[in-house]
Amino acid sequence: MTEFAKSPMFKSANANSCARIMAAFLAPDERLLAVADVTSAGPVTIGVAVTDQRIVGVPKSSEHPIELQVRRGELTDVHFDKRLVFSYLIGVTGDTKVEFGIALIDERKFLQPFLDRLLAPQPSPGISLVKKTPPPPEPSADPTIVDELVKLADLHERGLLTDDEFQAAKAAVINGSP
């Protein structure tokens, strides 16, 4: 497998596991660019991969199907949607939003150049490109406090939040602070 970028927040073993699983799903002309610790509880993913052709929520193993993905040609926007104390990686295809999972600030900073590259128009010889402006994003429905607390607990259990950070974030969610 060719070299790819690993998020500094992603434990090396987890990043390598993500890459091995993605290798089973790559098309012959597709190249893995980066893996990051952006995870989802439903469907369960162990990280997110950005290739030169798509964004993928990486399943637990190569025996599990890919349930979260957006291909370059379908992608009209990709952004991080901040909700209370979390940011969610969102891929937009027309009227559909695909939520890849929670991304901490360092993951967002790491992923942004790869996402920008995926969104960049791909010129074809002899064809001029007209950049389409995507419609403004619709306001997202606020998750419930319970949803946010469950996600906080997950981050804490995975060791991504210290006890103090967990308690502070939990208090912010309960008190409705951003």
Q: Is 122 exposed, middle or buried (0-12, 13-18, 19+ CB in 10 A)?
A: exposed
Per-residue pLDDT tens listing for the chain (178 residues): 568 999 888 888 888 999 999 999 999 999 999 999 987 877 788 899 999 999 999 998 888 889 989 998 899 999 888 877 778 899 999 889 999 988 888 888 899 999 998 888 876 555 555 555 666 655 555 567 777 777 878 787 777 778 888 888 888 877 776 5
Distances (CA, A) of 104 to 87, 101, 116: 6, 10, 18
Distances (CA, A) of 93 to 30, 79, 135, 137, 144: 20, 12, 11, 11, 25
DSSP 64: S
Is residue 4 a contact partner of residue 21, using CB atoms and an 8 Å limit?
A: no
* The token pair that represents 170 in the structure block: 């939990």
pTM of the model: 0.68
- What crossing angle do the helices spanning 145-157 and 163-175 adopt, rounded to 10°? 180
Q: For 101-146, what is each residue's pLDDT tens digit?
A: 888 888 888 999 999 988 888 765 555 555 556 666 555 555 677 7
Alpha helices, DSSP H, located in 2-141: 12-23, 105-119
Neighbours of 69 (CB within 10 A): 19
